Every structure is written in structure tokens, then in C-alpha cells.
């Protein structure tokens, strides 16, 4: 009796989630894997290519450039984490006045549409007209403007920087939440034992923060690598292919070339790339839930 009721509940509760997952995500995705084995124009008939798209992509002149810039772009997650962690640690302090207000203020970058934030940084960083160059030269830090967007070695870092500025608050609000949940008594105890600032962070804060840290790293790695609109708007993938991160290539193939076979091919590289970066963290996260931990 009990058992059958439970079974019904399991089925009924799983249904929406699983139906959603199959229809909206796995079905089109698997279809995409199939498409990646074809030349698949937007309007017109597909043509079987086997692994032709994959070899074409690996042999393309921009393949390694794209991987390298994707890797740099994914470092944005690290920068976001660093800022978010500092911000969370600071805004957890009770003695800070108007904490609630400051916490809200931290969120503003994330509360604006990323396309707008991208355009705004384009405006601020413009080498000829923007505020940043104006001050860097005015204060004597630079003699010459830096051509952030047109110098290949800078452009990768600039899109990474803008992504960091835009998306760190997401990490901040989760990390701060985790910090706030640590009972004061833990710190008091640590103080009784004479722990210094670092020791308290290492032995009290970090263990409590661990799972939240893994959550934000995994989520942001996935979200950051899927970002298209903002990096594309900042540099259009250039100069050359210097900022053609995988997701931008996906966009270019899918929507500008209308070649869905290639777009999904690059998309699958992106999935594998993301998976490789995420797996270690996912493994650490999973380990916490083992019995006895």
C-alpha cells in the first residue's frame, strides 16, 4: 500500500522534470549530433558528411586560436570567483554599516542586460574616445592609448574582463549566502584557541564554504562558456580569429553561415571542452555526499 503510493508519487513528481528534459533538451541535442554528421544548410537538403565536419574544424586555421581564446575566456570564472569571494567576506562583517545597501549595490552589474553592459564597456574602453584611456593617459600611467579591441593579445583578455565584471555578482550572492550561514560560535571557538585570521579562514570559513564554492564554479563555468551575445558584440570574434571563442564560432556558423552541421560540430567541441573543465569540480562536489563525509 505504502509502497505503491510512494511509487505513484515518484512517477508523478518526476514526470514534469523528465518530460521537460527529454523534449526540450535531449531531443534537439541528439538531433544536433546527427546534424553534425551532415552538411546541413538552413534551407535546403542535408547531405551526409560523416566525420567531415569534425576533421574540417580540427584542420581549420583558427582551430587552435579558438581553443586558446576559449581557455582564456574560461579563466573569467577564476577572476569572478576571486572578486566574489573578497566581496562576500567583506560584506559578511557585522561592523560594516549599511551592509544591506552595499550588498544590493554589488548586484547592479548582473542586474542589467549583458548586451547593454557589453556596449557600455565598448564605450568606456574606446581607445580614442573612452573614459578609461582618457584617465590612464591623463594620470600619466600610459603614454599611448592601448588598442584593447584591435590588438589580438589584448582583445582576448578584454572580453574576459568584461565577462568578469558582468557576471561575478552571481557568484557573490551564493557565496555570501553560504558565509552568512556559518554560526558565530564557530569563530568564537576558533578565537578561544587563538587562531589567526588565516587559520580561521582555513579551518572555519573554507569548510563551510566548500560546497557553495563548487556550486558556483560549476555553474559559472557552464554559463560563461555558453556566452555569445556579449563577446560577439565586443569584438565580432576578431581581430582575425583572436577572440573567436567556441561559442562565438557556433554563432557564426549557425546564424551567419547558416551551416548547422558545422555549428553543431563546434557545439559538441564546446560541450566536451566544458565537461573537461567541470568534471574535477563535479567529482569533488559529488564526494561530499558520500556517506560518512
Partner 1 sequence: MGPVGTETARAYSRRELLQLTASLAAMGITTSLTPEAIFGQARTDLKGVTIDYWNMVGVQNKTVRRLSEAIVTAFERRTGATVNTTWDSYGSIIGPKYRTSFKGGIRPTVFDASGRWTGQLRRFLRPLNDFMEGSWDAESREGTAWLIPLVKRQNQGYADRDQIYDLPFGLVPQAPVLTRRDHWEKAGIDWERDWPPRDSDHFLELLGQLREGAGVRYPTEVYGKIWDAGDTQLNGWVRSLDIETSGFINADWSRCNCDSPAWREAVQFYVDLFRKYKFSSPNSPQSTDEDAVELLIRGRKSLIHADILNRGTLLERMPDELRDGLFQWAPHFPISGGTSGSQTFLAFVTFHIVKQEGPDAALKEAAAWEFVKEWFRPENMIAYSKSAGLCARRDLWPQLMGSPDGYAEAVTRMVVNPGVWANHPKSVDIQYNLFAPHLQQAMQGAPVEKELRNYTREVNEALRA
Partner 2 sequence: MSDRATGFQRVLAYAGLIALLAMVLVPYSYIVVTAFKTPGEIFEVTWIPEELSVDAWREVFAINEFHRYLWNSLLAGVGCAVLSLLISVPGAYVFARKNFRGREVLFYLIVGTLIFPFILLIVPITITWIQVGLYNSIVGLLIAFQIFAVPFSVWILRGYFARMPRHLEECAMVYGCTQFQAFYKVMLPLAKPVIVSVAFLSFLLGWNDFLFSNMLTTGDGPRTASVAIYVATAGGERIEWEVMMVMTLITGIPPVILYMIAQKHLSRTFST
Q: Tell me the closest approach of the beta carbon of residue 36 to partner 1, in angstroms.
A: 15
What's the CA gap between 21 and 17, in Å, rounded?
6
Please report which residue ranges of 226-259 form alpha helices under DSSP H: 229-235, 246-251
CB 36 within 8 A of CB 54: yes
Size of the site for partner 2 (CB under 8 A): 107
Distances (CA, A) of 144 to 4, 127, 135: 75, 9, 12
In the region spanning residues 100 to 119, those forming contacts with partner 1, defined by CB under 8 A, are none
Query: Three-class SS of residue 131?
Result: helix
Q: Tell me the closest approach of the beta carbon of residue 238 to partner 1, in angstroms.
A: 5
Closest CA to 155 of 257, 246, 232, 249: 232
The residue from 63, 109, 120, 127 that contacts partner 1 (CB under 8 A) is 127
The residue from 16, 50, 128, 291 that contacts partner 1 (CB under 8 A) is 128
Residue 58 φ/ψ, nearest 5 degrees: -60, -30
Q: Tell me the closest approach of the beta carbon of residue 68 to partner 1, in angstroms.
A: 15
In the region spanning residues 82 to 141, those forming contacts with partner 2, defined by CB under 8 A, are 83, 86-87, 89-96, 100-116, 119-121, 123-124, 129, 131, 134-135
The residue from 147, 157, 210, 285 that contacts partner 1 (CB under 8 A) is 147
What's the CA gap between 213 and 48, in Å, rounded?
44
Residue 144 or 293 having the CB closest to partner 2: 293
* Residue 46 touches which of partner 1, partner 2, none (Cβ within 5-8 Å per kind): none
Distances (CA, A) of 110 to 22, 28, 162, 172, 235: 30, 29, 12, 10, 21
Q: Tell me the closest approach of the beta carbon of residue 94 to partner 2, in angstroms.
A: 6
Question: In which region does residue 50 sit, left (phi positive, over 0), alpha (psi from -120 to 50) or beta (all else)?
Answer: left
Residue 87 or 242 having the CB closest to partner 1: 242
* Residue 257 touches which of partner 2, partner 1, none (Cβ within 5-8 Å per kind): partner 1
Size of the site for partner 1 (CB under 8 A): 32
Q: Does 236 bind partner 1 (CB under 8 A)?
A: yes
What's the CA gap between 241 and 155, in Å, rounded?
10
Site residues, partner 1 (CB under 8 A): 39, 41-43, 61-62, 126-129, 145, 147, 149-152, 155, 235-241, 244, 252, 254-259
Amino acid at each position: 500500500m505504502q509502497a505503491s503510493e510512494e511509487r505513484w508519487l515518484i512517477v508523478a513528481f518526476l514526470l514534469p522534470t523528465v518530460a521537460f528534459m527529454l523534449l526540450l533538451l535531449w531531443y534537439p541535442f541528439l538531433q544536433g549530433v546527427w546534424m553534425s554528421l551532415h552538411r546541413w544548410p538552413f534551407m535546403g537538403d542535408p547531405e551526409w558528411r560523416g566525420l567531415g565536419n569534425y576533421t574540417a574544424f580540427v584542420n581549420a586555421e583558427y582551430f587552435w586560436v579558438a581553443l586558446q581564446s576559449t581557455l582564456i575566456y574560461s579563466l573569467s570564472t577564476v577572476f569572478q570567483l576571486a572578486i566574489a569571494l573578497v566581496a562576500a567576506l567583506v560584506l559578511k562583517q557585522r561592523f560594516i554599516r549599511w551592509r544591506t545597501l552595499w550588498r544590493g549595490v554589488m548586484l547592479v552589474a548582473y542586474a542589467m542586460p549583458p548586451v547593454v553592459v557589453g556596449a557600455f564597456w565598448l564605450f568606456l574602453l574606446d581607445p580614442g574616445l573612452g573614459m578609461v584611456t582618457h584617465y590612464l593617459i591623463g594620470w600619466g600611467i600610459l603614454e599611448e592609448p592601448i588598442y584593447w579591441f584591435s590588438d589580438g593579445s589584448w582583445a582576448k583578455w578584454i572580453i574576459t574582463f568584461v565577462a568578469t565584471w558582468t557576471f561575478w555578482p552571481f557568484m557573490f550572492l551564493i557565496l555570501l549566502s553560504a558565509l552568512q550561514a556559518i554560526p558565530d560560535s564557530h569563530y568564537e571557538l576558533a578565537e578561544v584557541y587563538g587562531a589567526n585570521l588565516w587559520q580561521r579562514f582555513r579551518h572555519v570559513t573554507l569548510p563551510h564554504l566548500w560546497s557553495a564554492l563548487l556550486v558556483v564554479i560549476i555553474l559559472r563555468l557552464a554559463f560563461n562558456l555558453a556566452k555569445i551575445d556579449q563577446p560577439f558584440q565586443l569584438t565580432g570574434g576578431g581581430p582575425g580569429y583572436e577572440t573567436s571563442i567556441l561559442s562565438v564560432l557556433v554563432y557564426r556558423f549557425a546564424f551567419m553561415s547558416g551551416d548547422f552541421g558545422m555549428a553543431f560540430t563546434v557545439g559538441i567541441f564546446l560541450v566536451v571542452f566544458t565537461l573537461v573543465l567541470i568534471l574535477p569540480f563535479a567529482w569533488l562536489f559529488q564526494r561530499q555526499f558520500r556517506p560518512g563525509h
